[in-house]
Amino acid sequence: MQQVPPSADDKFQGNCLCCTALSTAQGTVSLETKLQKDAPKKRNNEIGPGKYGGQEFQGFTYFPRFPGQVDPEFEPPKVYMVQRIERMKFNPFWHKKLLKEFGIDRKSSDYAIVPNTPNNCARLWKVKHLVRITPISIPQGLPEDGDMAGARLQDNGELRFIPKLKHDMLVSVNQSRTAKQPDFLDHHTLKNRLRMNWLKPW
């Protein structure tokens, strides 16, 4: 069976069809671009409406309590206070490695100051069942002179500046403890005295 070569009219019609399809595609792309520009701006990491009526984000789907619910404005903290609340035994080695990298692998009372970055958040997500994460806030604001003396980080994550602590720190730095306190006891003397009080309380 011999194949009939396409004629010039067929080639012309084919070219016209290609040009028509191309122009239609360009018109569709321009229309989609215009619709995207006119559409309301989505929130950070928001993909769009979900399959079951929720709002789909990057990695999770959020279901509001009632239709049209809008979350209040929230400013994410810049740093976190991370403290280990569970023991490290019977945990896999990759969890122990992450805790060691954060510096909270020794005493449970130790805590680490971790910047709020996507990399650190991904690492904290893997050990979220072992740590307590508290956002750090500054209710009083940073001092205008930039002097951070007298700062105290409380358990609820508030960083406050206490003038009395600043004064006490300056006094302790400027004066010698042994020179102006003749009744000062060193570590060994105090240890022996307390030991004798324990052995002979009366």
| Domain limits, the chain | 79-135, 142-202
Homologous superfamily assigned to 79-135? Ribosomal protein L30/L7 (3.30.1390.20)
- Separation CA 117–CA 122 (nearest Å): 9
Residue 106 pLDDT more than 60? yes
Predicted confidence at residue 200, as pLDDT, reads 83
Q: Residue 68 burial (CB < 10 Å; 0-12/13-18/19+)?
A: exposed
Most confidently modeled range among 45-49, 144-148, 151-155: 151-155
For residue 18 the two structure tokens come to: 């290609």
Q: Is the pTM of this model over 0.85?
A: no
Helix, strand and coil percent figures for the chain, each rounded to 5: 40, 15, 45
Whether the pLDDT of residue 19 is over 50: the answer is: no
Least confident of 14-18, 90-94, 164-168: 14-18
Predicted confidence (pLDDT) at residue 51 exceeds the cutoff of 90: no
pLDDT at 112 over 90: yes
CA atoms within 13 A on the CB side of 95: 15
CA 60 and chain centroid, separation: 17
Q: Is 57 exposed, middle or buried (0-12, 13-18, 19+ CB in 10 A)?
A: middle
